[in-house]
Amino acid sequence: MHPWLQDATAYITGGSSGIGLAIAHELRRHGASLVLIARNRQRLDEAQRELLTTTAPVSRRAPDSRQPMVDIVVADVTDSRQLQQTLREAVARISPPDILVNCAGMAHPGYFEQLDLHVLHQTMQVNLYGAWSATQTLLPYLRQRGGRIVNVASLAGLIGSFGYSAYAASKFALVGFSEALRNELKPDGVSVSLLCPSDTDTPQLHQENRIKPHETAALSGNGPTLQAGQVARDFLRGLRRRRFLIIAGRSARMVYLIKRLAPSILYRLMDGVVAKSRRRAQTHTALIGEQ
Ligand SMILES: NC(=O)c1ccc[n+]([C@@H]2O[C@H](COP(=O)([O-])OP(=O)(O)OC[C@H]3O[C@@H](n4cnc5c(N)ncnc54)[C@H](OP(=O)(O)O)[C@@H]3O)[C@@H](O)[C@H]2O)c1
């Protein structure tokens, strides 16, 4: 039970699915009102219905006081002008934010030489520029309320992994943006956090699994796949303490520790997994050739 969430309103971009939706459930459970932002209205409607019917807020409110709401806003975070207008309307219509979670994101894994520049543009637009635009629009309100901003990056924003050149570039950029913002807003009482989950069972991961190189799949297969609910619980623990870096999942925290203390060991481990995956793929190709 987190009483400080009882009268809070959280704006969550990407709140209609996966990690964003799990965060919405966690915040609602603790009494926060929600504004979910995404492009697809049908998925937003479904998420709103799911939240209202399955997650009951644990409330210490008086029975006649305002109950936590779930509102939805259709917007594309890559369209900064439309986003700005829609968010300002939402603030006037619903409530100003106490918490902003920038969770809308995309990933398109692949071999660098096969990735068109367009993929990088698109990935940066959603993962970096989207977070920038939403933050810039809502910051004046967050500033007034001693608010909190959480940018959802990834373990791939701390460790550049095979097959994730565009995604890692966007998430490393988001990490740099978040750190600069943290230092700039701290004196004004606005906290900035960076949530870095490793592979999490969501529609995005399923989509990635369909196209990722076998080396990337082998590296992913070396760690556990998190459940979105677990990421959301780690998120809330970090948010409550206004912690800057929130790495979701124990094994992800271990991998990041190795990266910081002994990066060469991590690189050797990753190189080993890639080499093994290539040997296996070559053997497989040779066997098929013999048939
Ligand atoms: N799943 C993982 O393994 C994993 C690991 C580490 C970090 N992450 C990060 O966690 C975040 C959420 O990912 P997820 O796996 O939960 O993905 P997901 O289930 O596919 O959800 C993505 C959400 O973002 C919204 N979205 C995407 N593009 C948007 C845009 N241009 N404008 C507004 N909303 C947009 C989607 O709704 P619409 O399509 O309707 O717009 C959806 O609500 C992302 O930033 C991702 O990079 C994921």
Model pLDDT for residues 51-98, shown as the tens digit of each residue: 999 988 886 666 656 689 999 999 999 999 999 999 999 999 999 999
11 is catalytic: no
Q: Which atom of ligand 1 is nearest to the CA of 156?
A: 6
Domain parsing of the chain, residue ranges: 3-261
Which CATH number does the domain 3-261 belong to among 1.10.238.10, 3.40.50.720, 1.10.10.10, 1.20.140.10? Answer: 3.40.50.720
Q: Which two tokens stand for residue 277?
A: 């995956």
Tell me the C-alpha distance between 105 and 116, whole Å. Answer: 18
Residue 287 in this model has a pLDDT that exceeds 90: no
Q: Does 252 contact ligand 1 (Cβ within 6 A)?
A: no
Q: Does 39 contact ligand 1 (Cβ within 6 A)?
A: yes
CB 148 within 8 A of CB 239: yes
Among 129, 167, 256, 267, the active-site one is: 167
Q: Does 104 contact ligand 1 (Cβ within 6 A)?
A: yes
Higher-pLDDT residue of 133, 221? 133
Q: Does 200 contact ligand 1 (Cβ within 6 A)?
A: yes
CB 145 within 8 A of CB 98: yes
Measured in Å, residue 13 CA sits from the centre of ligand 1 at: 8
Model pLDDT for residues 121-140, shown as the tens digit of each residue: 999 999 999 999 999 999 99
Q: Which atom of ligand 1 is nearest to the CA of 171?
A: 47
* This model's pTM is above 0.85: yes
Model pLDDT for residues 13-41, shown as the tens digit of each residue: 999 999 999 999 999 999 999 999 999 99
Q: Does 125 contact ligand 1 (Cβ within 6 A)?
A: no
